[in-house]
Amino acid sequence: GPPGGPPPLPAPPPPEAAGPLPEPGTPAGGEPVQLFTAAQRDPDGKPAEDGAARRGSPLRLPRAASLDDPLALMRALRPVGRRSIGGPGEELDEQLTVERSIERMVTTPVLRPAESRWLDLALVVDTHHSMLLWSDHVDEVRRVLTRSGVFRDVRTWHLTGTAAGATPMVTRGPGGPPRTPLELADPAGRRLILVLSDTVAGGWREAPVQGMLRHWCAHNAVAVLNVLPERLWTRGAVRPVPFAVRAERPAAATRSWQRIPVARRGRTGPGRAAAAVVPVVGVASGSLARLVRVVSGDGRWRRLACLRLDAAAGAASTPADPGPGAGHSALEVVERFRASASPTAQQLAAHLAAVPLTLPVMTLVRRSLLRDSEHGHLAEVALGGLFEDWEDEQTPQEVEFQFLPGVREALLGSQLRGDVAAVRELVRRRVWEFVSRNRRTGPDFSATRVTTGREGRRRVAEDALPFAVRPPREPGLADRVVRVRHDGMPEPQEVGTLLTPRLVLTVGDAQLPPGTVAWVRPGDREIPCRTVWSDDAVPRMLLLQADEDLVDPAVCAEPLGLLTADGHHVLDRLRVDGRTDQGEPVALTGAPAPHDGARNGELVRLSAEPESWTHFRGGPVSENGRLVGVVHTVWPHRMVFLLTDALLEQRGFRAVLEAVESEADTGTAVCLAVLPGADGIHPAGSSARAETGAMLVEFMADLGVAGRLSGSEGDGDAPLLLTLDAPGAHAKAGRVLSGLRAAVLAYGDRRMDGMHPSLAVAVGIGRAEAERLVRHPAIADLLRRTASGSLVLALSHRLHEDLEGLFGYPARLTLERVGDADEGWVCVAPEPVAESLGQVLQEAGPLLDLYVDWPTCARVAEEPEPLVCIGIRLPGHERCLAHLGDEEQREYLATLAPGAPLDFRGTTFDNGLLPRLLTALGPRGRGPLRVGPAAFDRAYFVDDWNRADIEFSGRATFVRAVFGGRAGFSGATFGGPVSLDGAVFQYAADFEMSRFHRAATFRRARFRGSAGFKEAVFLEDVSFGRAVLEASADLFAVQVAGSADFTGASFGGVAGMSGAGFAGPVSFASTSWRRGLICSGAAFEGPLDFERATFRGRVRFDGVRFDAAAHSAPDFTLGRPGHWDVQERPDGTWDIGLVTTDTG
């Protein structure tokens, strides 16, 4: 090997020397957890009944998808999805019904002949035993064709008798009575027949099968849908040849298609009849789309592979198959496979050697370990001569394929004994992680979960192979280790420990002033970081900070535990994590020993000697995941590390950590990653990327939104990143999205002759999320197929979860998942989704923004889970009121007097703190409790608020406060403006007989218990815009002197407004009542808006007075005959009742 590199591996032992290997997967402090296939069988095919066998519990696991892109297949079928008149029965003509009803002033239904899909599909599935390999694939194809919605009817038939010398027949189901294939032909010519097969059976080159196909081709459009990739078609019994074909009318019989062999020698001479052919296409969107276009009858020539239905030619074209492994040793079989297989297929075969060969397990291995692989790579392995023949009578649920004798060992035997165990552990661990991560609905399969082997009712043979093993719980910090390169060094020589997603603790030799740049490699990318702290020792400890997340924030979601020197004497072994030259994780352990007083420690008796190609300097020394120190000196047999105690003694080090913690608590940036497509035009000397960057700069300036744009230089393929910082990051992103499409079109018209490129826009929390999502292959594929000037909009999984259930999201958008469960979502509907998402973000911004603009207590509460306190620090103290000591709290409360201003933003009131505070503010004698200006934004009231005699003399704000107990403000007086926007009332909220002298807002508030406003008085405006009242709402005799805004409010329980009086305009636009509204004797003296309001349940307006200038009932009663009972009383009041509840 090269100097300084790892030593070469010794020659591998022979396969028979490997012997049984210990099973990995025993978690620290727990039993191993392994997954086995459900049916373990002996060589004779009988279930294992060994009394000494292990036992486990049965469970069902979701199958991994075999099809790579089912949505693309559905899109490929669209050309034959048109509708035609002539379906059974009649259907309602909605447009004519509306027009006729308006003309006659009575509901007049108008019927028209029903429309229906015009084409049937007969899916004929070859049941030759070779097709057992593709049972999952066949089922998924059938589901896609059935669910596509483009066919009038989809029927599945089973084709038997495709073996050599047999007679082909069809059945309606497995094991059903045989029927003549002639039944499938439709003389009306409105049927597409797809034969799903691998064409491996010998009968495909014989006259009976070809005669059956010729008969079908005489009446209908027929094609063979080959489950194998096109590069493997030559391994079938027949070999397709390319033809140019076209059809002049839809669903024309295949025999009538015009066809010309692409190869000149295949063309027939004058006077000779052309041989009948049937097209062959693969289960891929591009191949299927070409066939569908021909079937649609568009008249264009297209190149398709076709089978000549000439039995003599077919028989001569394919040599006889000598059978798997005939006359060859296992090593020769493997070498022959490797000589013809692709590198990916070779990798897949090696991985499959570690697991049992059942259909769902093979697909799981492919999906979990080779994400870029295709179904065709599994086909290469299956047809590569590695498997034994399997029986014809087995069902797909029972079949377990077997390698030829010695092949499994040969695939693994070229490895060292330890490497064989590592391969097995890797495969089974990755499958476990994939199964744990992907909980998709749909088809599943049976498996057996084994822990101790002594529990459960299902037997598992002792020699059975598991296909998944729970990985051991690693106590180290390998996930937090990154490589660090200082200026002047060509490659990283140190490593560092991630304290946060952006903060790295490492070492260096030179004195580095603040701001000096170092380079961090968390993976393949190198990211610049600036020095924010260093100590005065040699070597120096350094803190490096990046402007973007270096890893997924989930890696550092839990604070890094620090273990101080007090506990070191009880530790037997400590772990050190590092990296190799190639960036692979490496670790060793050592025994701690005292060194240089209390500042440093030493590791001796190392588990392995550090090599020149491993890097531990700057690595974390840990015990059970807690940081003990940082390595700064490495010798062959020992290491010296700085203890965490010495770090925490450094004031500068503590200050940086506190600043980062405070910054992390103030909110999170929202990032838009923008990637222009390859379409459109741009001025000479420029590029689509540069023009998009210029457009964004101009757009942001016009919009007046501050943001940071990066990546606009050069012509690379990296996306442009628009970062919008807190506060208000979500709302800023919403404003940008709302106006982006119009800005793209306007800029394109002025600068690019109306041909601005299409844009992919991914919205995420932080730059890493958005950039990773916009680079996803699914987004790139959509971008290629999007028209110029259009947007492909995606949002990250974390943002999707944050928005779930807020303001109509996601119902206002049509979303599809991108990739794995945690990767993100893409908007697929044709409507202007950017504007819809922009509106949701703007509305949700105030509820999602974590930014606080006050100095916080930042105390970490450990129970029930680590949370950083956002309570405001009291003047002269380092803590909020809730976290002062008992004596300090008493002293502070003693300084308060009636009418004092209060600022307890973010403070938690529990354990009687709120009653103590209100008592301190109470009068010395009799009288109400008076409070000056009060700020309780983001406060959390565990204690009940229950004072009926309180008076707020100034502004009172409870924005996004949470009332975990009862909120009793009955009889309270609010002398200044009051805001409870976004407040959450977990239980009853009582504002009965309260008086609001200035404007009051309850926008986006959520009342989970009953909401009482009986006889409350609002002397100015009041707003319940988009509030959610989940239980009953009592607004009896409420009086509002100004405007009342209930726009978008949702009343989940019965609402009462009897006796209410509204002197100003009232808006119930988009308000919903789900269980009824009782409004008797109410007066609406100003304009009233019920646009898009929805009513359900019992709705009564009895004796209600409306705006006298209107002279009619409000608009929500007009144009709905039969739904509302509207009566005007002699005194000018109205009785209105909802007769039916199916309208809004």
pLDDT at 271 over 60: no
3-class secondary-structure state, position 195: strand
Residue 383: Cβ within 10 Å count: 22
Instruction: Please give the model's pTM, rounded to 2 decimal places.
Output: 0.45
The answer, yes or no, to whether residue 753 has pLDDT greater than 70, is no
* pLDDT band at residue 993 using 50, 70 and 90 as cut-offs: very high
Domain 478-663, CATH among 3.30.70.270, 3.90.870.10, 2.40.10.120, 3.10.20.740:
2.40.10.120
Contacts for 557 with CB less than 8 Å, ≥ 6 apart: none
Other C-beta atoms closer than 10 Å to the C-beta of 832 total: 15
Start-end of H helices in 752-871: 767-774, 777-784, 797-803, 833-848
pLDDT above 50 for 171: yes
What six digits make up the tokens of 193?
């027949």
Residue 38's CB: how many other CB atoms inside 10 A?
Answer: 19
Question: What pLDDT, on a 0 to 100 scale, did the predictor assign at position 927?
Answer: 78
User: Rounded to whole angstroms, how far apart are CA atoms 1069 and 1066?
Assistant: 9
- H/E run at residue 1138: strand 1134-1138
In angstroms, what CA-CA distances link 160 with 173, 174, 278, 396? Answer: 11, 10, 19, 16
Which residue do the tokens 């009121």 mark? 881
Burial class (CB in 10 A: 0-12, 13-18, 19+), 6: middle
What are the E-state strand segments in 720-852?
A: 720-724, 759-765, 791-795, 815-817, 825-827
> Which pLDDT does position 553 carry in this prediction?
67
User: What per-residue confidence (pLDDT) applies to 418?
Assistant: 45
Ranking 189-193, 290-294, 677-681 by mean pLDDT, the lowest is 677-681
Locate all alpha helices (DSSP H) within 804-929, ordered by sequence. 833-848, 886-894, 913-921
What is the pLDDT averaged over residues 597-618?
82
The fraction of the chain above a pLDDT of 90, given in percent, is 26
Q: How far apart are CA 657 and CA 654, in angstroms?
A: 5
Name the DSSP letter for residue 220. S
Q: What is each CA distance from 28 to 24, 34, 489, 765, in whole angstroms?
A: 12, 15, 39, 34
Please state the separation of Cα 280 from the chain's center in Å.
36
**Average pLDDT, whole number, for the chain?**
81
- Residue from 368, 366, 359, 325 nearest 344 by CA: 366
Most confident of 229-243, 682-696, 1007-1021: 1007-1021
**Which residues, at least 6 apart from 969, have a Cβ–Cβ distance to it below 8 Å?**
945, 947, 948, 950, 989, 990, 991, 994
Which letter, b or e, does each residue of 733-762 get, where b requires 16 or more Cβ atoms within 10 Å of its Cβ? bbbbbbbbbebbebbbeebbeeebbbbbbb
Per-residue pLDDT, 475: 67
Q: Is 609 exposed, middle or buried (0-12, 13-18, 19+ CB in 10 A)?
A: exposed
* pLDDT higher than threshold 60 for residue 1117: no
- As to burial, measured by CB atoms within 10 angstroms (0-12 exposed, 13-18 middle, 19+ buried), residue 960 is buried
Q: What is the mean pLDDT of residues 341-365?
A: 87
- 1054 or 555: which leads in pLDDT: 1054
Number of other CB atoms surrounding residue 709 within 10 Å: 15
Q: Which helix (H) or strand (E) holds 542?
A: strand 540-545
Query: Sign of dihedral through CA atoms 418, 422, 428, 432?
Result: positive
Name which of 1-15, 36-50, 482-496, 656-670 the model is least confident about: 1-15
- Is the distance from CB of 992 to CB of 1014 less than 8 angstroms? yes
| DSSP classification of residue 1105 | B
**Long-range pairs for 1059-1063: beta carbons < 8 A, 24 or more residues apart:** 1060/1035, 1060/1036, 1061/1037, 1061/1085, 1062/1086
Whole-angstrom distance, CA of residue 901 vs CA of residue 923: 15
How confident is the model at residue 661, as a pLDDT?
58
Region 711-717 average pLDDT? 59
Q: How confident is the model at residue 266 (pLDDT cuts 50, 70, 90)?
A: low
- Supply the DSSP symbol for 842: H
In the chain, % of residues over pLDDT 70: 81
Q: With 70 as the cut, is the pLDDT of residue 823 above it?
A: yes
Q: What is the pLDDT of residue 812?
A: 62
Q: Which of 427-431, 558-562, 706-710, 1081-1085 has the least mean pLDDT?
A: 558-562
Asked if 241 contacts 261 with a C-beta cutoff of 8 angstroms, the reply is: yes
Query: What percent helix, strand, coil does the chain show, rounded to 5?
Result: 25, 25, 45
Residue 318: which residues within 8 A CB-CB, separation 6 or more?
Answer: 205, 236, 237, 238, 239
R_g (Cα) of the chain, nearest Å: 37
Mean pLDDT of 544-561: 74
Q: What is the pLDDT of residue 267?
A: 64
E strand or H helix that includes residue 137? helix 135-147
Q: Which residues lie closer than 8 Å to 189 by C-beta, 6 or more apart? A: 219, 220, 251, 252, 253
Residue 29 has a pLDDT of 38
**Model pLDDT, residue 279:** 95
- Tell me the sheet residues that pair with 120: 153, 191
Q: How many CA atoms lie within 13 A of 738 on its CB side?
A: 14
State the Cα–Cα distance between residues 1144 and 1096, nearest whole angstrom. Answer: 8
- Rounded alpha-carbon distances, angstroms, from residue 389 to 409, 944, 1025: 18, 74, 70
Q: Is 557 exposed, middle or buried (0-12, 13-18, 19+ CB in 10 A)?
A: exposed
Side-chain-side CA neighbours of residue 847 (13 Å): 23
CA dihedral 453, 454, 457, 458 (to 10 degrees): 20
Considering the domain 666-848 in this protein, what is its CATH number?
3.30.70
For residue 323, give Cα distances in angstroms to 326, 327, 401: 6, 10, 16
